[in-house]
Chains A and B, each alone.
Chain A
Amino acid sequence: MSSLKVTDLNTSFRTDDGIVKAVSGVSFDLQEGHTLGVVGESGSGKSVTFLSVMGLLDPRQAQISGSVQLDGEELLGASPARLRQLRGRRIGMIFQDPMTSLNPVKSIGWQLEEAVLIHHDVSRKEARRRAVEILGQVEIPRAGQRIDDYPHQFSGGMRQRVMIAMALINNPEMLIADEPTTALDVTTQAQILRLMKNLQEEFKMAIVMITHDLGVVAELADDVIVMYGGKVVEQANVDDLFVKPEMPYTWGLLGSLPRLNSTGARLEQIPGQPPSLLNPPSGCPFHPRCEFVMNICREELPVLEPSEQGENHIFRCHLDDESRARIWNQKRAALTAEETAA
């Protein structure tokens, strides 16, 4: 039983304009076989969180503090050699853009074999056998022939399958997927999401799904973290988050989504822009865009408190329980009224 435990993770970057606090105080647990969705807008710190976890940030630029434990082993401060042993072997990673993540001058087979040979003392022939097998598992037709093709001979969806194959080739216990379907068409996205679900059932992997698409989260995740301005602002299991969200940013996200059964009524919009991490707003990071802002929001960062709505549901907001319940019920009524009208 493997697990990833992240406690109070902070990442900041030194830039010419000052210190950028990209991630502050992020904590979560991830258990075997579970899928954690991480949603947030650009600049919310969702990618940097997991680059920090994997030790993929340049230590000369990034300052990381806190604790990242994989089965009790501390990863922050671990030697680069040790991290290289873990990455690709126990933790696989898929990046957003399959066009740029593959080496254009090496064949797919060469790149897949390399991933095996780095971690296992096997012959190239054995590595190749494994590469063909994994390409078959990610449903690439005629894997035995296509293995000698180069990335430009594959379509976008196929390249993303190759990326998934590369991440899975050493049977990792954990897969971190950073916007894996954002560059793809809906039909291809549906194929890739279904593939990830099937592979998870087969290999019992834990998956982290970083995305800005709430639809993808709803389809794939068991638990969801909502990030804003480098902080976790709400965390809950997927049903609770969509049915009983507890804070204004999550309400705004759900409201600003055009839905398939939309009647074209005005979308609820969150005014303004995501915050600058260079000069973060004081108090609650969301207060400059929040329609329910109070004086205390500008001064004090609300703590992550447990919700009464469900187990393991935590959120940040200064609004009292009664107001939050009342506001969400109103918003929800407006959303469902539109849906039933459709």
Chain B
Amino acid sequence: MTELLKVEGLEKHFPVTKGLVFQKQVASVKAVDGVSFTLNAGETLGVVGESGCGKSTMARCVARLLEPTGGTLTFEGRDITHLSRNDMRAVRRDMMMVFQDPYASLNPRKRVGFIVGEPLEVHGVGTEKERKRRVQELLEIVGLNPEHYNRFPHEFSGGQRQRIGIARALAINPKLIICDEPVSALDVSVQAQILNLLKDLQDDFGLTYIFIAHDLNVVRHISDRVLVMYLGRAVEIGARDALYVEPKHPYTGALLSAVPIADPQAGRARKQIVLEGDVPNPINQPAACHFHPRCPRFVDGKCNVDTPLLEPVGTSEGHRAACHFPLERWPMTEEEMRDPHLTAPVEAGAPD
């Protein structure tokens, strides 16, 4: 398998300024704080985390829609971190995005033919006639009627609009498609259609996906590998089955345990671990392990002092987690979660 994308120590810090005239920087929001991963051609990397964990910012940095403030991006062996706008445009032919809100991401005043054909025009592909044929072909590929070429976005339902967004992303045969919550605005039955479509397109065109979603069921369904983010950092990454069957980071465990199960009997039988509190304010990030104030396995003097590194865990290759006390097995009861098998006095103080 060839490596398509390599992300090393990616950082995006937004300055927080004070004052109107002399904008003094008083702090920074570390939206993405040292995320590293690799992506092989033809695979799907799912990215999960709560809102505000930096998953969308990370994706936008990878596509260089936002300028990263640190780290390197290597796409097909070429460092693209500091490419100029012009050079970047050529790289963008291979890297497209599908956005969350199919109502907001299509220009309401343009016809579908223009919207889908615009990438072709920007990159100067073909004559006008060829472009029109390509657009009609694309509409057909994503399951729309080619005769809809002259319609406006408002004439389509949410699921159909997302198909238009996907057709636009496919227009110039990209290698990588970054999908930012592509199905979260859709109804269940339509969501299944779009997920199936994305899988079919991957098989047909050998696409590579970065698939961002907050729905863990959806991510498990579509991904080969999964990256879990918390407050700008990667806390766990691994092959899909390893991560879902044997999560090692307590945050991953808590996320999995929070997903409602669409099976009343199984739902009643399991023991849920419900995290207390909310995601902390990213301006005042907790010291060391960002998760320690909410973590059921918090050990005073360790978790709030030493920052855990992303280290290999478990038996599956490439499975890594950033935790001093990774979960020994799964599922766990709340009591087992609390006791990281240590002699050190455990203070399970109520997190604020």
Residue pair B264, A238 in contact (C-beta under 8 Å)? yes
Interface size on B, residues (CB 8 A): 47
What are 17 sample pairs from A and B whose C-beta atoms fall under 8 A apart?
Answer: A42-B158, A141-B352, A185-B214, A186-B214, A187-B274, A190-B272, A191-B274, A215-B262, A219-B260, A219-B264, A239-B264, A253-B188, A257-B262, A262-B220, A266-B196, A274-B187, A274-B189
A270's nearest neighbour on chain B, judged by CB, is: B189
- Does B258 interact with chain A (Cβ within 8 Å)? yes
Q: B280 CB to closest chain A CB, in angstroms? A: 10
* Given contacts A189-B258, A212-B187, A257-B262, A267 and B214 within 8 Å (CB-CB): no
Q: Give the A-B contact count at a CB cut-off of 8 A.
A: 140
CB closest chain-A residue, reference B266:
A218
Return chain A residues, CB-CB under 8 Å to B352: 141
Query: Shortest distance in angstroms between A136's beta carbon and chain B's nearest beta carbon?
Result: 15
Q: Across the two chains, which residue of chain B brings its CB closest to A262? A: B221
Q: Given the known A-B contacts A141-B352, A262-B221, A270-B189, are A186 and B159 also in contact in the complex, defined by CB atoms under 8 Å?
A: no
Asked whether any CB of chain A lies closer than 8 Å to the CB of B191, the reply is: yes
Q: Annotate A196-232 by CB proximity to B: 1 below 8 A, 0 otherwise.
A: 0000000000000000111111110000000000000
The digit string for B181-196, where 1 denotes a CB below 8 A from any CB of A, is 0000001111111011
The contact string, 1 if C-beta is below 8 Å from chain A, for chain B 160-197, is 10000000000000000000000000011111110110
Beyond A187-B50, A190-B260, A254-B262, 10 extra complex contacts between A and B, CB < 8 Å? A42-B158, A187-B274, A187-B275, A189-B260, A194-B272, A213-B260, A218-B262, A256-B189, A260-B261, A273-B159
- In order of increasing CB-CB distance, the 10 nearest A-B pairs are A215-B260, A256-B192, A258-B221, A190-B258, A270-B189, A41-B187, A267-B192, A185-B50, A269-B192, A258-B217
Point out the residues of chain A lying under 8 angstroms from B187, CB to CB: 41-42, 212, 274
B276-293 interface (Cβ within 8 A of A): 276, 278-279
Asked whether B222 lies within 8 Å of A264 as measured between CB atoms, the reply is yes
- Knowing A41-B188, A185-B51, A266-B196, the reply to whether A259 touches B160 (Cβ < 8 A) is no
Which residues on the A side are within 8 Å of B158 (C-beta)?
Answer: 42
B147 within 8 A of A: no
- Classify chain A: how many residues form its interface, as a range: 35 or more
- Please tell me if B267 contacts chain A, counting CB pairs below 8 Å: yes
Q: Which residues on B sit within 8 Å (CB–CB) of A259?
A: 217, 220-221, 262
Which residues of chain B (242-287) have a CB below 8 Å from chain A?
244, 254-265, 267, 272, 274-276, 278-279
**Interface residue? A155 (CB, 8 A):** yes
A158 within 8 A of B: yes
Chain A contacts for B220, CB-based, 8 A: 258-260, 262, 264
Interface contact A239-B265, CB-CB below 8 Å: yes
Q: Does A157 have its Cβ within 8 Å of any Cβ on chain B?
A: yes
Q: Could you tell me if A187 and B258 are in contact, using CB atoms closer than 8 angstroms?
A: yes
Q: Which chain A positions have C-beta within 8 A of B275? A: 187, 190-191
CB of A80, distance to nearest CB on chain B (Å): 34
Q: Which residue of B lies closest to A274 (CB)?
A: B187
- Specify the chain A residue showing the minimal Cβ separation from B53: A185
Bound-state Cα–Cα, A267 to B218, Å: 11
- Return the contact of A267 from the options B50, B196, B256 (Cβ within 8 A): B196
